[in-house]
Copies of this chain bind each other. A is one copy, B any other.
Amino acid sequence: MRIGIAGYGNLGRGVEAAVTNAQDMELVGIFTRRDPSTVKVATDAPVYAWNDMAAYADKIDVMVLCGGSATDLPAQTPELAKTFCVVDSFDTHAHIPDHFANVDAAAREAGTLGVISCGWDPGLFSLARLYASAVMPNGADYTFWGRGVSQGHSDAIRRIPGVADARQYTVPVPEALAAARSGSNPELTTRQKHTRECFVVAEPDANLAAIEEAIVTMPNYFSDYDTTVTFITQEELNAKHAGLPHGGTVIRSGRTGLNDEFGDTIEFSLNLDSNPHFTGSVLASVARAVYRMRQDGQVGARTMFDIPPAMLSPLSAEELRAHLM
């Protein structure tokens, strides 16, 4: 199947690697809003101008969108669905229903298929929540993130005056994880579930106390958490905090039996060296499913909730039943 990549940041690099390594996929091209001649990619995939995309309508089976959720994808996914079958990683949970409706309308009109909000959260974590609640309706869900780098929180720190660079780690609280696993179905507050660790490079002569105060009191991002701020040099940040590790855990704790007499725990967790490369690998597997589902005649918007799992795998149904069942 012939794959295109729309957008070439960290996630685009992840999709590039996954598609290049997949035996059943061909990476037709990478589309960028920058001058293509200035974009150096990791493979020998050709780089094209975003505005030339329409010329590739018949040469690409699935376009994988790698823009951001704040402003890129809400416009790009419906727009590109007019021409291509699409996959995106739209991750603003509260706006997923609206985004779904927009992509669905565009895709139905054009006769294309689009799967939105793929990756690990939303994505594999969503699937873990769905399977666990479907098979154990009486229970409570807990989602923990980290230990890992939150790019949104790192960006928020960088916008503070006097900050030259920053890296923020989201860290689940071990006692909260243990409580969620215990079967006691505890109510856990935001502060009880995660702490935030900030590594900050200050500009020369910056007021460190003011930076720290600006971070720990920042609404939405930090004020509801126990936050630690550690000032380090740019060299140390480059040496020790260059990666984008992440992960997390979804736990459902609940009860089965006619009178709820049995307690069960279902847990799904990820531990990732590179968040964008893993997310890119998920997007590549969804692109495979989109190709197959479109061949089956499906059009409109979907999520991973709608994909028969076998569609994601390069193995045949017979191989899956014989070896993975």
Contacts and interface: CB of A to CB of B under 8 A. Distances in A.
A135 B312 contact: yes
Interface stretch (A73-81, A165-173, A215-223, A302-310): A302-310
A156 interface: no
Chain multiplicity (copies): 2
Interface string A286-301: 0010000000000000
Contacts of A96: 321-322, 325
A128 B312 CA distance: 13
Contacts of A134: 285, 288, 309, 312-314
Contact of A43 (B258, B268, B307, B315): B258
Interface residues of A, number: 72
A278 interface: yes
A277 B282 CA distance: 33
Interface stretch (A50-58, A119-127, A232-240): A119-127
A268 B270 contact: no
Nearest to A284: B135
A39 to B, nearest CB: 16
A69 interface: no
Contacts of A209: none
A25 to B, nearest CB: 11
A285 B272 CA distance: 31
A212 to B, nearest CB: 32
A264 B271 contact: yes
14 contacts: A97-B322, A128-B268, A130-B309, A130-B310, A134-B288, A134-B309, A135-B285, A256-B278, A257-B277, A265-B269, A303-B321, A305-B308, A305-B317, A306-B308
